[in-house]
Amino acid sequence: MLVRTEVKREEMREAFRMNLTPKFWLKAIFSNVRTLIYLGIAVALIVQILMKGGGKAEWEHVGLILALAVLFIGLYLFRLSRSIHKTAGTVNAACCEMLLDAHGLTSKSSSGASIFTPWADFNRWKEGKSVFTVGDKKEFRTIPKGSMSEPEIAEVRGILQSQIRIA
């Protein structure tokens, strides 16, 4: 079965959410150590302000520190969103369609090159509302449902069920 693989940003976001592992969160924490340190300092300052005031807090200072903490969290989420968007663009540039058959998955690029991967190389597959993902814990391929009809979605699901054990 031939499937178009143009992945929308929302579809890539869903694929990422479906395949998040504890290792992902450890990487996210280590790549944002500076932000976490700033947030820790902000919390320490808030505690110090609350204790120093003898029960009376200087709310304008607390509000300012909380605003900075929210800014750092927002910055992290913005960076994560940009990363997902960039990944979706990379996937769309690298692969324009996939051929799924009894032997494996063949990815065809817009330049005409194709890469065949046998089903034995995939450890698992998952199904979401708008995508299928095929792969393992380290990397996965996204098969968007957006361009497929219900019978085609059922056919892809059948191929994946018969060829790969579900995780």
Q: Which CATH number is 133's domain given?
A: 2.30.29
Q: What is the pLDDT of residues 54-113, one digit of tens each?
A: 666 667 777 887 888 788 788 878 887 787 777 766 766 667 788 888 888 888 877 778
Residue of 114, 116, 115, 137 lying closest to 125 (CA atoms): 137
Print the domain residue range for 27. Answer: 19-91
Domain count along the chain: 2
- Residue 154: is its pLDDT beyond 80? yes
Same domain, 13 and 58: no
pLDDT digits (tens, 9 = 90+) for 114-123: 888 888 888 8
| 69 & 123 share domain | no
H helix runs in 32-58, sequence order? 33-52
Check whether residue 25 and residue 82 sit in a common domain.
yes
Q: Give dist(CA 7, CA 142) in Å, integer.
A: 8
Its pTM stands at 0.62
Q: Is the pLDDT of residue 13 over 60?
A: yes
42 and 9: one domain? Answer: no
> Which residue, of 91, 115, 130, is where some domain finishes?
91
* One domain, residues 10 and 36: no
In sign, the C-alpha dihedral spanning 20, 25, 30, 36 is positive
